[in-house]
Amino acid sequence: MAGRKLFNLRARASERLARLVDFRISGEVDGLRTDLDPRLVEQEHCTNDHRRRLDALEEGLEGVRGDLRWVTAQVDRLIPHVAAQEGQLEDLREKIALVPPSDRPEATEARSLIEEVQRQHAQIRARLTGIARYEDRLRRLEDQASAEVAG
């Protein structure tokens, strides 16, 4: 009987101690929940903002890709024309080298035409260089945007 009373006493003491601990833990958890709720809401807003900005970046990236495809197509279209002009220019240079200097008006006119072709050729090269730089810049921007999306 004394063993039974001791057992009951232990059981009641354990139960009271458990309730006391549960009460303290419950209060601390409620306090943590109160502290965390505003932070969670703020993080949710930030996440939504990041998703919105990422969607906008992806739309912009599609526009850049379209521009890059167009520029690439234009460069590909112009390359044969420039190569043909270079061939014609080289033919003209060879012909000039074979013709002795003359003061005839036809030779002067031919030289001025050749100089005009050379000037236009230089302009085309400058434009193609600009297009190549633009294409390279678009590619770098696309790589940077892809890295930001991945990161």
SS3 state at 71:
helix
User: pLDDT tens, 22-77?
Assistant: 656 665 666 566 666 777 778 888 899 999 999 998 988 888 888 889 999 998 89
The pLDDT of residue 116 is 87
Mean pLDDT (whole number) for 121-137: 87
Q: Percent helix, strand, coil in the chain (nearest 5)?
A: 95, 0, 5
Buried b (16+ CB within 10 A) or exposed e, 46-80: eeeeeeeeeeeeeeebeeeeeebeeeeeeeeeeee
Instruction: Calculate what percentage of the chain has a pLDDT beyond 70.
Output: 81
Give the residue with greater pLDDT, 129 vs 13: 129
Q: Cβ distance 135 to 65 under 8 Å?
A: no
Q: Angle at CA 131, nearest 5°, toward 74 and 89?
A: 80
Q: Which residue has the tokens 């030779």?
A: 107
Instruction: Calculate what percentage of the chain has a pLDDT beyond 90.
Output: 8
Q: To the nearest 10°, the Cα dihedral for 54, 59, 60, 63?
A: 160
Give the residue with greater pLDDT, 116 vs 13: 116
Q: Cβ distance 71 to 135 under 8 Å?
A: yes
For residues 129 and 116, what is the distance between their CA atoms, to the nearest angstrom?
Answer: 20
3 torsion bin: left (phi>0), alpha (psi -120 to 50), beta (else): alpha
Q: Is the pLDDT assigned to residue 13 strictly greater than 90?
A: no
The pLDDT of residue 33 is 62
For residues 79 and 76, what is the distance between their CA atoms, to the nearest angstrom?
Answer: 5
The pLDDT of residue 51 is 93
For residues 142 and 37, what is the distance between their CA atoms, to the nearest angstrom?
Answer: 38
